[in-house]
Amino acid sequence: MDPHQPHLISDCLIHVFTFLTDEDLISASSVCQDWHQAAETPWLWRRMCLQRWTFCNIAVLGSEGVNHSWKRYFLRRCHLEMKMTKGRTGGYTCKSLRGHTGRVVGFVYLKESSAQLPHLWNSSATVCSASADGTVRAWNIQNGEPLWCSPVQSPLTGIVSDEQHEVVITADSTGLIKTWQGQTGQEVASFSSGSPHSTLLQYSVNNNWFLTVGTSQGAVCTLADSALAKRSSVMVCDSFKVNILLVSPDKKWIMAGTKDNDDLSPKVIYTESLTSPSEDEDPLCQSVPVIGCQAAVFIPTQPARLAIIHHNERPNNKVLSVFDVSIKKTKYKSEIQVQQVESFPLTLNTRSSHIHLEAKDSNCLVLAADQELWVYSLKGALLASFKEHTLPISSMCVDSFRVVTASQDLSLRVLTWRNDGDRGLTLESRYNLLGGSHTMSRGFTHVACDYSSIVASVEGKDGKDVLKAYSFTS
């Protein structure tokens, strides 16, 4: 290297440093001034961040030229992960969020706009909860403070959120769908579906906002924009309530089905035919070639790959089948194609109809039923299994860092992802979090998490459910 070409020396050093770990890179930065300047290059730390995590909240970084923020992001997030991995007392705070006078039917995280987000390690998350007491409540989960409460209405049955627009959507037992401004609790719009049970699915297509509602009568109704204007309605499982409703990662497909009838097949519907229906044609809909549906999930890293747990010939024999969904268009018609790519029997020794199914990536499925948790590859290989709960698992959440299971035994079990060489991605059991006293509670009913917190609802024996918020600190 020519000492008269310092830029060449710097470029070569940066290239060499791409092969170092974060610890080695920090050590290299103390060798000399040239090495220090090369090791502090924001591009190196940005590359390290994006290699380690599939998503980095760049909004918290500010200018790359100020204090080497990519490096600070990497080191702070690693430190936070270490805290969450160990789950020791002192590494997190637990707040009890009290105020509901009925059963909590669900809750959602409400992300603040990126312009208002403080640094990742000091972020203050908001959770909105819906209850059978007829109210929506918003909470600051770090300090446990209530932020707002909606007026009382009929018992609520479901809640979802649109994080991008900071909107919360609820349904009540009369079929009234409402949207709320997440930061203030102000009602935005309402629509009556006439259904005592409503399954809600919110999504955006080409920056256009839509809400699809599954009803007790077996129909799927699609609403548009903040005014909740009705766009279409299609029957998918006549006289049985739609309680499975999913959208594919490419937003081209809606999957709708029911867990209440083992003879009905789930359907896939072309989203465009729901959001922009033709006046003289029904929405484009196709049955998936399975009988019954106990759980389903779209694979998040594929455009439209659907995994379904269904019955075999015998009711207790369960099968997991995977399908690719596509559309074939000709000059005169469009046709939905549902092609099976995998199918294998499950070793689930359970009669329970409450099966939870989530997908981590294109080759990793997580199942939970009764007290057990299983990790399967998409080819049907059992990668890991866990039986740590003493009572049935009631809820499960999966993200890029961990899996959290909530149980009626009043505990949360936390597992983290690890790469197991030839076997690929699997889970490692880490720790458990407790939810209180069995004399006062019946166990956890729902769980959700964001990057630095876990929230779960506890069913109270007095009918007043409580939220438990665990916030991990740096």
- In angstroms, rounded to a whole number, what is the distance separating the alpha carbons of residues 241 and 455? 28
| Torsion 268-271-277-278 (CA) sign | negative
Q: Is 452 helix (H, G, I), strand (E, B) or coil?
A: coil
- The rounded percent of the chain whose pLDDT value lies above 90 is 55
Q: Is 135 helix (H, G, I), strand (E, B) or coil?
A: coil
- In angstroms, rounded to a whole number, what is the distance separating the alpha carbons of residues 75 and 91? 17
- In angstroms, rounded to a whole number, what is the distance separating the alpha carbons of residues 94 and 455? 9
Q: What is the pLDDT of residues 270-288, one digit of tens each?
A: 999 999 998 878 889 999 9
- The rounded percent of the chain whose pLDDT value lies above 70 is 88
Mean pLDDT computed over every residue of the chain: 86
Q: What is the pLDDT of residues 392-417, one digit of tens each?
A: 999 999 988 889 999 999 999 999 88
Two structure tokens written together for 72: 């600070």
* Over residues 245-255, mean pLDDT: 96
Please give, one letter per residue, the 3-state secondary structure of 165-185.
CCEEEEEECCCEEEEEECCCC
Q: Residue 437: which pLDDT band, with cuts at 50, 70 and 90?
A: confident
Domain ranges of the chain: 6-84
* Over residues 449-458, mean pLDDT: 90
Can you give the pLDDT at residue 374? Answer: 94
Q: What is the pLDDT of residues 17-65, one digit of tens each?
A: 888 887 888 888 888 887 888 888 888 888 888 777 766 665 555 444 4
End-to-end CA distance of the chain: 43
The contacts of residue 58 (CB under 8 Å, 6+ apart) are: none
Q: What is the pTM of this model?
A: 0.84
Quick check: 143 and 196 in contact, CB under 8 A? Answer: no
Which of 388, 244, 383, 269 is closest to 334 using CA atoms? 269
* Over residues 294-312, mean pLDDT: 93
Can you give the pLDDT at residue 118? Answer: 39
Two structure tokens written together for 55: 């998503």
Range in 76-80, 201-205, 430-434 with the lowest mean pLDDT? 76-80
Two structure tokens written together for 393: 């698992």
| Side chain identity, residue 316 | N
Torsion of CA 304, 308, 313, 318, to 10 degrees: 150
* Over residues 316-322, mean pLDDT: 88
Which of 107, 29, 4 is closest to 455 using CA atoms? 107
Range in 34-48, 62-76, 188-202, 298-312 with the lowest mean pLDDT? 62-76
- In angstroms, rounded to a whole number, what is the distance separating the alpha carbons of residues 54 and 184? 32
Between 173 and 418, the more confident residue is 173
Q: Residue 200: which pLDDT band, with cuts at 50, 70 and 90?
A: very high
Assess whether pLDDT exceeds 90 at residue 305. yes
Q: Which residues pair with 321 in a beta bridge?
A: 308, 343
Can you give the pLDDT at residue 115? Answer: 35
Q: What is the pLDDT of residues 92-131, one digit of tens each?
A: 888 999 999 999 999 999 874 333 333 444 457 899 999 9
> 6-84 in CATH: which number?
1.20.1280
Quick check: 199 and 157 in contact, CB under 8 A? Answer: no
Buried b (16+ CB within 10 A) or exposed e, 367-393: bbbbbbbbbbbbebeebbebebbeebb
Task: Describe the strand order of the beta sheet including 402-407 as a list of residue ranges.
Answer: 393-398, 402-407, 411-419, 425-434
Two structure tokens written together for 380: 């049907």
Q: Which residues pair with 172 in a beta bridge?
A: 156
The contacts of residue 255 (CB under 8 Å, 6+ apart) are: 244, 245, 246, 247, 248, 266, 267, 268, 269, 288, 296, 298, 306
Can you give the pLDDT at residue 2? Answer: 52
* Over residues 66-91, mean pLDDT: 72
Task: For the chain, give percent helix, strand, coil, nearest 5.
Answer: 15, 45, 40
Q: What is the pLDDT of residues 55-68, one digit of tens each?
A: 666 555 544 444 45
How many other C-beta atoms lie within 10 A of the C-beta of residue 92?
A: 19
Range in 49-53, 71-75, 154-158, 374-378 with the lowest mean pLDDT? 49-53
